[in-house]
Amino acid sequence: MKTRERVGTVTAQTRADDPVVAARGFPRSFVFGVATSAYQIEGAHDADGKEPSIWDVFCAKPGAVEDGATGNVACDHYRRYRDDVAHMAALGVDAYRFSISWPRVLTNGSGVNAAGLDFYDRLVDTLLERGIRPFATLYHWDLPQSLQEMGGWTSSDTVDRFTEFARVVGARLGDRVRDWITINEPEVVAFVGHAHGRHAPGLRDPRQAIRVSHQLLLAHRSAAAAIRAEVRQARVGISLNLAPVHPASDAEEDVAAALRVDGYLNRWYLDPLSGRGYPSDMVAWYGGLLDAEAVSTMRGYQGDLDFLGINYYSRQVVRAAPAELLASQQVRVRDAAHTTMGWEVYPQGLSEVLQRVTRDYRPRAIYVTENGASYDDRPRQGRVSDPERTRYLAQHFAEAAQAISAGVPLEGYFVWSLMDNFEWNNGYTKRFGIVYVDYATQQRIDKGSARWYRDFLSARSRV
């Protein structure tokens, strides 16, 4: 089916963003949830023995964060978690994907901080009391600063420390938490943080970035084994930020650039996690930047995934640009809708990614572990209207339903994000939440998209 026809079909199916229509494409067993991460919402940056993370340090660098903001308070979730869980329950979500702050749980990256671990114990109990299934992410970018000072993710010792972190958390929460995600978006950790300098730790060294990407894959495998050793019937996955990569033209150099970006963003992680080792074209492209031993190690590597988490926001359209690391450059698509992040709204890319991964890699199960959009939301007379986000979600839900009908083993979908929060190097200038947060008062207000999601979740029981 042609793309233009498919877009029209989605629009027709979700006319007026009808939640009842949207709900028809999903089986009753399907898991719908919301997602957050620790540094983005918890605040309490030095409470109860929590140590600094690389993001605490990065935020203190002049110019590192767009509005000079920090996660010191964020959404104050550390103190308000019971109210936030009650808010989730009122929405009717099945599950909550959250992350566990490593520097809150362990001191110096290894010694147990009982007070920090107790917080997650209470959070999990509160979720279960409300009938919400916990999905725990071990690493969502907040590496303890003490470990960064000893080499961070370039050091094999950090892999060992991460494994111990997984063991400690699994032993404490594993009697109630079955679903685990080891690492969120290793590409962002490795390259945005170590090659482009836009995220913590703010380095600009492509060689280190490639090494970090390798170390993160080793950390996934080791932590997964630790979780399985501690948790009966554990289900362990990893969350990758994936996207279709399309050439800006039919020119040979643009097609080649798109293949390289696909290798960098998608195949560099999917291939080894599926037991294929690193893709040979990217090994050749990186050349001397990549350690030969790492290539050899990946030949015997197995990701052993119970499920694959996919974070999807948009596609990438690229053209050749010789001066760049991948000799490519992303192109802004004309006459397309974009979010305030500058990302093209391209719902059909979700189905494209889901079907491609299913066809090429045959995962046991898939979850959309993040999907959402940033828009400029403002309260008016006590309400927040965000029709663009509602439309975005409705269209992406329709694509997910279409993927299920095409045979994709999609079992769940997490909206990013539950509430507005600290958006990394963009600070508080971008709002992804379906719940509006007034940071001065910490008031939460359901946006139109939250009300639509609540109606959608309610409609599932009637179709």
Q: What is the pLDDT of residues 98-109, one digit of tens each?
A: 999 999 999 988
Residue 133 reports pLDDT greater than 50: yes
> Percentage helix, strand, coil, to 5, in the chain?
45, 15, 35
Q: Two tokens at 345?
A: 């709204």
Structural domains of the chain sorted by starting position, each given as residue range(s) with its CATH number in brackets: 3-462 (3.20.20.80)
Residue 241 near residue 98, CB atoms below 8 Å: no
- C-alpha 316/C-alpha 326 separation (Å) is 14
The catalytic position among 370, 388, 399, 423 is 370
Residue 74 near residue 442, CB atoms below 8 Å: no
Signed CA dihedral, 104, 110, 114, 120: sign only: positive
Location of structure tokens 């003490």: 146
pLDDT tens string 299-330: 999 999 999 999 999 999 999 999 889 999 99
Average pLDDT, the chain: 95
pLDDT tens string 397-406: 999 999 999 9
Nearest to 64 by CA among 75, 72, 56, 76: 56
pLDDT tens string 166-201: 999 999 999 999 999 999 999 999 999 999 999 999
| Residue 400: strand, helix, or coil | helix
Residue 131 reports pLDDT greater than 80: yes
Q: Is-catalytic flag, 185? A: yes
- C-alpha 255/C-alpha 250 separation (Å) is 6
The catalytic position among 42, 51, 185, 344 is 185
pLDDT tens string 257-300: 999 999 999 999 999 999 999 999 999 999 999 999 999 999 99
- C-alpha 369/C-alpha 371 separation (Å) is 7
Q: Two tokens at 114?
A: 């009982």
DSSP symbol at 189: I
Average confidence (pLDDT) over 352-373:
98
Q: Two tokens at 418?
A: 């539950």
Model pLDDT, residue 463: 67
Residue 186 near residue 240, CB atoms below 8 Å: yes
pTM (2 d.p.): 0.96
Model pLDDT, residue 254: 98
Distance set, CA 426 to CA 49, 117, 374, 422 (Å): 27, 29, 11, 8
Dihedral of the alpha carbons of 311, 314, 318, 322, in degrees to the nearest 10: -50
| Residue 32: strand, helix, or coil | strand
Q: pLDDT band at residue 7, thresholds of 50, 70 and 90?
A: very low
β-sheet bridge partners, residue 183 = 139
Residue 5 reports pLDDT greater than 80: no
